[in-house]
Structures are given as C-alpha cells and as structure tokens.
Amino acid sequence: MPDKKSITIKIRVDSQTHTKMQSGADRYTDGNLSAFVRCATLKYNEEPVTDHDNPRMIALIKSAIKLIERTGTNTNQVAKHINEQQKMNPYSLRAADLLPFGQFCEGTDKIRQMLTYLYNMIISGK
C-alpha cells in the first residue's frame, strides 16, 4: 500500500512561470499541476496527453458523463422514493413502483452506444 500524500510543498512563482507550468501540466498530465511537478522532479519522460487534439472525442465524453450523471440522479430519486414508501408500509411494494426504472433503459442504451463509440475511437487512434 503506497504512503499517503501528507506533506505539502508551497512554492512562489510569477504569473509567467505559472502559465508555463500550467501549460506543461495541461500537455503532459491532463492539467494536474501537482502530478506535473512530481513527475518533472522525477524526470518524467512519458508522451503528452493528445486527447486535446480531438474536440469530437472530448465533446462525446462530456455528453456521456452528463447522461450518466442524469441517469444516476434519476435512479437515486426513484430508489429513495421506494425506500421511503417501504419505511411507512414494508409490504406495500407493487410492480407499478418499479416502472420508473424502465424509463432509464433508453438512457442506458445511449450511454452504452456512446461508450462503445468512444472505445472504438480510442482503439483506432482517431
């Protein structure tokens, strides 16, 4: 098990240096400045992140994330409603109470299609 990161290092830089550091972090570590500084001090020699060159992929990923979040939120709301109903009357569950879950099938199919398309884009390198 790796050690927890419990030591904080603070450095002061001017705005120009910060901009250069953030640019390097965006290129090599997907914007994570802490990871960039850690890697730079350990002579990091990996290839830069190239997803920034494909706006279609980025837009598709963002759309998939939003759809996943929306579906998850809706599912949680339905489950919460059923749980509250079961607290009041434990034997009151009906088939009709489960119907809202059927509404999410279309959303999950879209998510599956989007993720499959993204996977194929990544594998093909486009």
pLDDT score, position 88: 80
| CA-closest candidate to residue 119, choices 60, 73, 77 | 60
Report, as an integer, the average pLDDT of 30-38: 82
Q: What is the mean pLDDT of residues 16-30?
A: 86
Separation between Cα atoms, residue 114 and residue 116, nearest integer Å: 5
pLDDT one-digit tens code per residue, 49-99: 554 567 777 788 888 888 888 888 888 888 888 888 888 887 777 777 777
**Residue 16 — pLDDT band, cuts 50, 70, 90?**
very high
Residue ranges of domains in the chain: 14-51, 54-125
Q: Which whole number is the average pLDDT over 1-24?
A: 83
